[in-house]
Structure 1
Amino acid sequence: MKTKKKLGIWMDHSNACLIEFSSEIKETETISSNYTFQDKGETLERSENIMHNKEQHKQNTYFKNIANVIRGFDEIILFGPTNAKMELHNLLKENHLYDSIKIEVQNTDKMSDKDQHTFVRNHFKKFAVYNFEL
Protein backbone atom coordinates (compact mmCIF):
# COMPACT_ATOMS: atom_id res chain seq x y z
CA MET A 1 0.00 0.00 0.00
CA LYS A 2 1.37 3.37 -1.02
CA THR A 3 1.99 5.90 1.74
CA LYS A 4 0.11 9.10 1.05
CA LYS A 5 2.15 12.28 0.85
CA LYS A 6 0.57 15.03 2.94
CA LEU A 7 1.26 18.76 2.98
CA GLY A 8 0.05 21.64 5.12
CA ILE A 9 0.22 25.17 3.72
CA TRP A 10 -0.21 28.19 5.98
CA MET A 11 -0.68 31.12 3.67
CA ASP A 12 -1.66 34.72 3.23
CA HIS A 13 -1.31 36.90 0.13
CA SER A 14 2.43 37.42 0.56
CA ASN A 15 3.86 34.16 1.98
CA ALA A 16 3.11 30.46 1.98
CA CYS A 17 4.78 28.15 4.49
CA LEU A 18 4.83 24.56 3.20
CA ILE A 19 4.98 21.91 5.92
CA GLU A 20 5.27 18.29 4.86
CA PHE A 21 3.66 15.79 7.22
CA SER A 22 5.99 12.83 7.74
CA SER A 23 7.71 10.85 10.46
CA GLU A 24 10.87 12.94 10.18
CA ILE A 25 11.22 16.64 10.93
CA LYS A 26 11.65 18.65 7.75
CA GLU A 27 12.47 22.28 7.13
CA THR A 28 9.54 24.53 6.33
CA GLU A 29 9.75 25.73 2.73
CA THR A 30 8.52 29.26 2.06
CA ILE A 31 7.17 30.64 -1.19
CA SER A 32 6.78 34.41 -1.31
CA SER A 33 4.81 36.67 -3.59
CA ASN A 34 6.93 39.14 -5.54
CA TYR A 35 4.33 41.89 -5.17
CA THR A 36 5.59 44.46 -2.66
CA PHE A 37 4.35 47.73 -1.23
CA GLN A 38 7.07 49.42 -3.30
CA ASP A 39 5.52 47.91 -6.46
CA LYS A 40 2.12 49.15 -5.37
CA GLY A 41 3.39 52.68 -4.75
CA GLU A 42 5.27 52.89 -8.05
CA THR A 43 2.40 51.59 -10.18
CA LEU A 44 -0.25 53.55 -8.29
CA GLU A 45 1.59 56.77 -9.20
CA ARG A 46 1.10 55.90 -12.90
CA SER A 47 -2.36 54.36 -12.87
CA GLU A 48 -4.62 52.44 -10.55
CA ASN A 49 -5.52 50.11 -13.43
CA ILE A 50 -1.84 49.29 -14.03
CA MET A 51 -1.41 48.65 -10.29
CA HIS A 52 -4.28 46.13 -10.23
CA ASN A 53 -3.01 44.37 -13.37
CA LYS A 54 0.50 44.06 -11.95
CA GLU A 55 -0.83 42.87 -8.60
CA GLN A 56 -3.05 40.26 -10.26
CA HIS A 57 -0.22 39.01 -12.50
CA LYS A 58 2.19 38.61 -9.57
CA GLN A 59 -0.53 36.98 -7.43
CA ASN A 60 -1.22 34.45 -10.20
CA THR A 61 2.50 33.66 -10.41
CA TYR A 62 2.58 33.17 -6.61
CA PHE A 63 -0.38 30.77 -6.76
CA LYS A 64 1.15 28.85 -9.71
CA ASN A 65 4.39 28.38 -7.75
CA ILE A 66 2.42 26.89 -4.85
CA ALA A 67 0.31 24.76 -7.22
CA ASN A 68 3.46 23.26 -8.78
CA VAL A 69 4.54 21.98 -5.36
CA ILE A 70 1.06 20.64 -4.54
CA ARG A 71 1.10 18.35 -7.58
CA GLY A 72 3.53 16.04 -5.77
CA PHE A 73 1.15 15.33 -2.85
CA ASP A 74 -1.99 13.30 -2.17
CA GLU A 75 -3.57 15.35 0.64
CA ILE A 76 -3.37 19.08 1.33
CA ILE A 77 -4.62 21.32 4.12
CA LEU A 78 -4.68 25.04 3.26
CA PHE A 79 -4.95 27.26 6.31
CA GLY A 80 -4.32 30.85 7.33
CA PRO A 81 -5.92 34.17 8.26
CA THR A 82 -6.77 35.64 4.82
CA ASN A 83 -8.89 34.56 1.87
CA ALA A 84 -5.74 33.70 -0.14
CA LYS A 85 -6.26 30.01 0.69
CA MET A 86 -9.76 30.10 -0.83
CA GLU A 87 -8.50 31.90 -3.93
CA LEU A 88 -5.86 29.20 -4.40
CA HIS A 89 -8.39 26.43 -3.69
CA ASN A 90 -10.75 27.83 -6.34
CA LEU A 91 -7.93 27.92 -8.91
CA LEU A 92 -7.00 24.32 -8.11
CA LYS A 93 -10.61 23.13 -8.41
CA GLU A 94 -10.76 24.58 -11.95
CA ASN A 95 -7.72 22.53 -13.04
CA HIS A 96 -8.30 18.80 -13.55
CA LEU A 97 -4.65 18.04 -12.73
CA TYR A 98 -5.66 18.41 -9.07
CA ASP A 99 -8.82 16.26 -9.14
CA SER A 100 -7.13 13.31 -7.44
CA ILE A 101 -5.69 15.42 -4.61
CA LYS A 102 -7.75 15.76 -1.44
CA ILE A 103 -7.67 19.48 -0.57
CA GLU A 104 -9.17 20.93 2.59
CA VAL A 105 -9.37 24.57 3.68
CA GLN A 106 -9.52 25.91 7.22
CA ASN A 107 -9.46 29.44 8.68
CA THR A 108 -6.85 30.12 11.33
CA ASP A 109 -5.17 33.12 12.89
CA LYS A 110 -1.57 34.11 12.36
CA MET A 111 0.69 31.40 13.77
CA SER A 112 4.28 30.92 14.78
CA ASP A 113 6.31 28.26 12.94
CA LYS A 114 5.87 25.91 15.90
CA ASP A 115 2.09 26.45 15.91
CA GLN A 116 1.94 25.78 12.15
CA HIS A 117 3.81 22.47 12.54
CA THR A 118 1.56 21.46 15.45
CA PHE A 119 -1.56 22.34 13.45
CA VAL A 120 -0.44 20.23 10.46
CA ARG A 121 0.58 17.28 12.66
CA ASN A 122 -2.72 17.35 14.58
CA HIS A 123 -4.80 17.75 11.41
CA PHE A 124 -3.34 14.74 9.64
CA LYS A 125 -3.10 12.57 12.77
CA LYS A 126 -6.82 12.87 13.43
CA PHE A 127 -7.48 11.37 9.98
CA ALA A 128 -4.87 8.62 10.27
CA VAL A 129 -6.00 5.06 9.70
CA TYR A 130 -4.36 2.52 11.94
CA ASN A 131 -3.85 -1.09 10.90
CA PHE A 132 -3.98 -3.60 13.72
CA GLU A 133 -2.78 -7.18 13.46
CA LEU A 134 -5.29 -9.76 14.63
Structure 2
Amino acid sequence: MKKEVGLWIDHRKAVIVTIEDEIEVTLEIRSNVEKHARFSSGAQSKDPNQPKGSTAEDMRDRQFGDHLDSFYDGIISMIRKADSIWIFGPGEAKGELEKRLKLAGLGERIVGIETVDKMTDRQIATKIRDRYLR
Protein backbone atom coordinates (compact mmCIF):
# COMPACT_ATOMS: atom_id res chain seq x y z
CA MET A 1 0.00 0.00 0.00
CA LYS A 2 2.02 2.94 -1.30
CA LYS A 3 0.88 6.47 -0.51
CA GLU A 4 2.00 8.98 -3.13
CA VAL A 5 1.45 12.73 -2.86
CA GLY A 6 1.77 15.47 -5.43
CA LEU A 7 1.14 19.08 -4.60
CA TRP A 8 0.96 22.41 -6.35
CA ILE A 9 1.82 25.30 -4.06
CA ASP A 10 2.18 29.06 -3.97
CA HIS A 11 1.94 31.46 -1.03
CA ARG A 12 -1.86 31.64 -1.28
CA LYS A 13 -2.87 28.00 -1.56
CA ALA A 14 -1.79 24.40 -1.89
CA VAL A 15 -3.59 21.71 -3.85
CA ILE A 16 -2.68 18.29 -2.47
CA VAL A 17 -3.47 15.15 -4.44
CA THR A 18 -2.96 11.87 -2.58
CA ILE A 19 -3.01 8.55 -4.43
CA GLU A 20 -3.24 5.35 -2.40
CA ASP A 21 -4.35 2.00 -3.84
CA GLU A 22 -5.28 3.85 -7.06
CA ILE A 23 -7.77 5.97 -5.10
CA GLU A 24 -7.27 9.70 -5.57
CA VAL A 25 -8.15 12.33 -2.96
CA THR A 26 -7.73 16.06 -3.64
CA LEU A 27 -7.57 18.71 -0.89
CA GLU A 28 -7.09 22.45 -1.11
CA ILE A 29 -5.53 24.45 1.70
CA ARG A 30 -5.66 28.24 1.62
CA SER A 31 -3.06 30.25 3.50
CA ASN A 32 -5.31 33.32 3.87
CA VAL A 33 -2.15 35.41 3.66
CA GLU A 34 -2.35 38.78 1.95
CA LYS A 35 -0.07 39.53 -0.95
CA HIS A 36 3.31 40.53 0.49
CA ALA A 37 4.22 44.09 -0.43
CA ARG A 38 7.75 45.41 -0.02
CA PHE A 39 8.50 49.04 0.71
CA SER A 40 11.76 50.90 0.12
CA SER A 41 11.60 52.73 3.45
CA GLY A 42 9.11 53.07 6.22
CA ALA A 43 8.07 54.79 9.37
CA GLN A 44 9.55 53.63 12.64
CA SER A 45 7.28 51.65 14.90
CA LYS A 46 5.83 53.62 17.81
CA ASP A 47 5.25 50.42 19.82
CA PRO A 48 7.50 50.55 22.91
CA ASN A 49 7.71 46.73 22.88
CA GLN A 50 9.41 46.70 19.47
CA PRO A 51 13.18 47.06 19.19
CA LYS A 52 14.50 50.50 18.22
CA GLY A 53 14.81 50.86 14.48
CA SER A 54 12.05 48.33 13.85
CA THR A 55 9.74 49.53 11.11
CA ALA A 56 6.13 48.70 10.47
CA GLU A 57 7.35 46.80 7.39
CA ASP A 58 9.64 44.68 9.59
CA MET A 59 6.65 43.77 11.72
CA ARG A 60 4.63 42.87 8.61
CA ASP A 61 7.53 40.77 7.32
CA ARG A 62 7.60 38.83 10.60
CA GLN A 63 3.83 38.36 10.57
CA PHE A 64 3.97 37.21 6.94
CA GLY A 65 6.73 34.70 7.78
CA ASP A 66 4.89 33.42 10.85
CA HIS A 67 1.70 33.00 8.83
CA LEU A 68 3.54 31.06 6.11
CA ASP A 69 5.18 28.84 8.75
CA SER A 70 1.71 27.87 10.00
CA PHE A 71 0.58 27.24 6.41
CA TYR A 72 3.58 24.95 5.75
CA ASP A 73 3.09 23.14 9.08
CA GLY A 74 -0.51 22.39 8.10
CA ILE A 75 0.59 20.97 4.76
CA ILE A 76 3.32 18.86 6.36
CA SER A 77 0.85 17.39 8.85
CA MET A 78 -1.34 16.28 5.94
CA ILE A 79 1.45 14.68 3.87
CA ARG A 80 3.65 13.30 6.67
CA LYS A 81 2.69 9.66 6.01
CA ALA A 82 3.40 9.81 2.26
CA ASP A 83 5.97 7.45 0.77
CA SER A 84 6.77 9.93 -2.01
CA ILE A 85 6.18 13.67 -2.33
CA TRP A 86 6.29 15.61 -5.60
CA ILE A 87 6.16 19.42 -5.29
CA PHE A 88 5.50 21.90 -8.06
CA GLY A 89 4.34 25.48 -8.42
CA PRO A 90 5.14 28.90 -9.84
CA GLY A 91 7.10 30.73 -7.14
CA GLU A 92 9.27 30.47 -4.04
CA ALA A 93 6.82 28.53 -1.89
CA LYS A 94 7.85 25.14 -3.27
CA GLY A 95 11.49 25.70 -2.23
CA GLU A 96 10.41 27.00 1.17
CA LEU A 97 8.24 23.91 1.70
CA GLU A 98 11.13 21.68 0.61
CA LYS A 99 13.33 23.22 3.32
CA ARG A 100 10.60 22.70 5.92
CA LEU A 101 10.17 19.05 4.85
CA LYS A 102 13.92 18.46 5.20
CA LEU A 103 13.88 20.01 8.68
CA ALA A 104 11.00 17.67 9.57
CA GLY A 105 13.06 14.65 8.44
CA LEU A 106 10.98 14.07 5.31
CA GLY A 107 13.50 15.25 2.71
CA GLU A 108 14.29 11.76 1.44
CA ARG A 109 10.65 11.31 0.41
CA ILE A 110 10.76 14.22 -2.05
CA VAL A 111 10.86 12.76 -5.56
CA GLY A 112 10.93 16.05 -7.44
CA ILE A 113 10.58 19.81 -7.43
CA GLU A 114 9.30 21.48 -10.59
CA THR A 115 8.52 25.05 -11.63
CA VAL A 116 5.19 25.39 -13.41
CA ASP A 117 2.74 28.22 -14.06
CA LYS A 118 -0.65 28.57 -12.46
CA MET A 119 -2.86 25.56 -13.13
CA THR A 120 -6.48 24.62 -12.55
CA ASP A 121 -7.25 21.98 -9.93
CA ARG A 122 -8.16 19.58 -12.73
CA GLN A 123 -4.81 20.16 -14.49
CA ILE A 124 -2.98 19.60 -11.21
CA ALA A 125 -4.79 16.32 -10.52
CA THR A 126 -4.17 15.13 -14.10
CA LYS A 127 -0.45 15.94 -13.89
CA ILE A 128 -0.09 14.02 -10.63
CA ARG A 129 -2.18 11.10 -11.87
CA ASP A 130 -0.05 10.87 -15.02
CA ARG A 131 3.13 10.74 -12.93
CA TYR A 132 2.02 8.14 -10.40
CA LEU A 133 -0.48 6.01 -12.32
CA ARG A 134 1.37 5.56 -15.62
> What are the ranges of 5 or more consecutive residues in structure 2 without an aligned counterpart?
46-55
Shift of 1:34: 2.9
Decide which structure has greater strand share.
2
Shift of 1:100: 5.2
1:7 aligns with 2:15: no
Q: TM-score, normalised by structure 2?
A: 0.77
* Partner of residue 92 from structure 1, selected from 96, 101, 113: 101
Distance 2:92 2:107 in 1: 21
1:105 aligns with 2:113: yes
Identity of aligned residues (%): 27
Distance 1:16 1:99 in 2: 18
Distance 1:113 1:99, change over 3 A: closer
Q: TM-score, normalised by structure 1?
A: 0.77
TM alignment of 1:1-134, pairs within 5 A: 3-22=1-20, 23-26=22-25, 28-37=26-35, 47-96=56-105, 98-99=106-107, 101-126=109-134
Decide which structure has greater helix share.
1
Distance 1:72 1:112 in 2: 26
The one-letter code sitting in structure 1 at the alignment partner of 2:67 is K
